[in-house]
Amino acid sequence: MNSLAVITRKNSELVDITRDVETFVANSGITSGIAVVFCPHTTAAVTVNENCDPDVVHDMLLWMERSIPRIQHGFLHGEGNSDSHIKAALVGPSVHLIIEKGKLVLGTWQGIFFCEFDGPRNRKVHVQVLGK
């Protein structure tokens, strides 16, 4: 397993980690298999989405904030970050990606994003490459 350090600078942001995951896959020597990208944090997540047009990232974060605002009357969690836990649960902690011919199989516009919902923070993402 490899770990990637991710430093976030905002309360909510999506960080493109595609190249880092591609490097782990290339260095693994695996030519056919699966890469698991896992976020070990309860207020952050991992997803695959478009990484060509930055407006997509903007729109995703805007929708999340409007749908699950940071301040909610009635939330009981003492740290005041219940919205972050909900957002992370909705996006999910991991993605599984196919490896063929030693490379990730991603669509033309797809990238892998670390999703920060309670930053800024120093985070980790784990990458496990399995196959032959």
Report, as an integer, the average pLDDT of 85-114: 98
Q: Is 46 exposed, middle or buried (0-12, 13-18, 19+ CB in 10 A)?
A: buried
Q: Name the region of 37 (left: φ>0; alpha: ψ -120 to 50; beta: rest).
A: beta
Summarize pLDDT for 11-21 with one digit per residue, the tens. Answer: 999 999 999 99
**To 5 degrees, how large is the angle CA 49–CA 55–CA 57?**
40
Strands (E), 43-102: 44-50, 94-100
Note whether 48 and 110 are within 8 A (CB): yes
Residue 43: the pLDDT is 98
Round to the nearest angstrom and report the end-to-end CA distance of the chain: 15
Q: Amino acid letter at 81? A: N
- Return d(Cα 87, Cα 29) in angstroms, integer: 35
Summarize pLDDT for 41-81 with one digit per residue, the tens. Answer: 999 999 999 999 999 999 999 999 999 998 877 888 878 89
Residue 71: the pLDDT is 81
Q: Where does the pLDDT of residue 3 fall: very low under 50, low under 70, confident under 90, or very high at 90 and above?
A: very high
CATH class of 2-131: mainly beta
Q: Amino acid letter at 97? A: L
Residue 70: the pLDDT is 87
- Return d(Cα 35, Cα 22) in angstroms, integer: 9
